[in-house]
């Protein structure tokens, strides 16, 4: 029942915890009062996939993250959607795993984002250089706009950037060495690296969040 709401809204974690309390009680005691002694297994283990020793009950927080990544994928795959260009219900916690789960081939640089897309190595520039990202006045520039006339540098010119000088030299050298040759008329291409077909699925977006599960 929560799936449709989780897909379009950022549900408060407090509400998810309340839903979990109901599921928790039903699992161990149905309609009876629940105490700590009745819980046979910790809730994180209960929500882990069966392949990782859990019971496979959906983790609502991870599931909501997986569903929200769909917005980021569709904005690439179908930019003609009328809502593309508006702010989706996603934040940096969603953008980071999306970047990790995708591979980008740069064409004209008009879709891939300078700070949020993994176009230099496996990490985004926002995660690799958080201090510069916080200083930038335009955090959603495309690669094309950011590289044109070194606009990304102009975006940094506010606040005290003197302590970041050494890191700036490092980042600037990296961008000069790795900057792609933009090809006019060729669209940027994205591939979902969690599926053989290279396309987003909510099941793979959910499963990848358990890859570091111990």
* Mean pLDDT score, 130-149: 91
Higher pLDDT pick, 21 / 35: 21
pLDDT band of 212, cuts 50, 70, 90: low
Residues 205 and 66 sit within 8 Å (Cβ to Cβ): yes
pLDDT band of 4, cuts 50, 70, 90: confident
pLDDT of residue 214: 39
- Predicted TM-score (pTM) of the model is 0.77
Residues 112 and 104 sit within 8 Å (Cβ to Cβ): yes
Residue 40 has pLDDT above 80, yes or no: no
* Mean pLDDT score, 35-56: 82
Strands 102-105 and 189-192: antiparallel
Residues 118 and 102 sit within 8 Å (Cβ to Cβ): yes
SS3 state at 103: strand
């Amino acid at each position: 029942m929560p799936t449709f709401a989780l897909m379009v809204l950022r549900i408060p974690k407090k509400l998810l915890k309340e839903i979990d309390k109901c599921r928790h009680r039903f699992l161990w005691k149905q309609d009876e009062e629940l105490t700590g002694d009745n819980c046979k297994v910790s809730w994180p283990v209960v929500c882990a996939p069966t392949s990782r020793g859990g019971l496979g009950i959906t983790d609502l927080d991870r599931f909501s993250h997986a569903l929200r990544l769909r917005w980021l994928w569709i904005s690439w795959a179908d930019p003609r959607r009328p809502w593309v260009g508006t702010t989706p219900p996603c934040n940096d916690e969603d953008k980071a795993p999306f970047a990790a789960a995708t591979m980008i081939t740069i064409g004209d640089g008009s879709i891939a984002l300078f700070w949020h897309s993994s176009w230099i190595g496996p990490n985004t520039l926002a995660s690799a250089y958080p201090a510069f990202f916080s200083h930038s006045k335009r955090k959603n520039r495309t690669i094309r706009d950011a590289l044109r006339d070194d606009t990304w540098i102009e975006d940094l010119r506010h606040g005290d950037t003197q302590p970041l000088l050494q890191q700036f030299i490092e980042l600037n050298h990296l961008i000069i060495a790795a900057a792609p040759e933009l090809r006019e008329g060729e669209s940027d291409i994205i591939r979902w690296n969690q599926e053989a077909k290279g396309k987003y699925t909510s099941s793979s977006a959910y499963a990848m969040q358990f890859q570091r599960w111990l």
